Amino acid sequence: MDHVSPFDQLVDVDQAVDYAENLLTGRTVRLRALRQDDLLSLEQWWFDPAVVVLQNSTVQPWPAGGVSDLFTQWSANRTPDAVGFSIEHRETGEFIGHVTLFGRDSVNQTATLAIILGPAFQGHGHGSDALRVMVGYGFLQLGLHRIELHTWAFNTRGIAAYRKAGFVEEGRRRDAVLFNGRRHDEVIMSILRSEWSGDR
């Protein structure tokens, strides 16, 4: 039997409005459209040593504006193949990160999730909250059946956040990445629509 969340059963206009108003809102964060002034922070974070080893398989500089182009493309939200949102703190409105669902396969109803948080905002539960909101968006708004993500085995903090958001490890690509002269596994995690609690 398919899982049914309270958000699935829209009975009247008030419930429809509540759905629209709360779809992109979590406990501590809110997802919103990318703004031009977000790009400077994203450019800085992308090459911060605390971030780069978790986002890229190689440590190397990019041309000026290359990261901005990437995030602008992810966040254009003109097609259902990829959607991206900036993450802001609900209370302060401060920009704290970005989350995207990309590579959507409309036949198999799957997509891949990626998230980046500024170093100062890591370890406070904002990442887990943003993940829960984006997963809900993927299942409820995009009609996905499966959302997956990939990370390095040494990203223990990220793996803990993904588990907290309901993702389960389903496999590893052994010795798939080289960092500092050593080989590390790539961890593949996923969450299915039937596993998602809808508790936001």
Does the global pTM surpass 0.75? yes
pLDDT confidence of residue 55: 61
User: Nearest 10 degrees: CA dihedral of 122, 51, 164, 187?
Assistant: -170
- Convert the pLDDT of each residue in 93-133 to its tens digit: 999 999 999 999 999 999 999 999 998 888 889 999 999 99
* pLDDT higher at 1 or 50: 50
H helices present in the chain, as ranges: 13-22, 38-46, 49-55, 66-74, 126-140, 156-164
- Convert the pLDDT of each residue in 28-59 to its tens digit: 999 999 999 999 999 888 877 666 556 655 55
CA–centroid distance for 33 within its chain: 14
Asked whether residue 200 carries a pLDDT value surpassing 50, the answer given is no
Asked whether residue 6 carries a pLDDT value surpassing 60, the answer given is no
Q: Considering only CA atoms, give the Rg of the chain.
A: 17
Q: Does 11-195 carry CATH code 3.40.630.30?
A: yes
Give the three-state DSSP class for 25.
Answer: strand
- Calculate the average pLDDT of the chain: 86
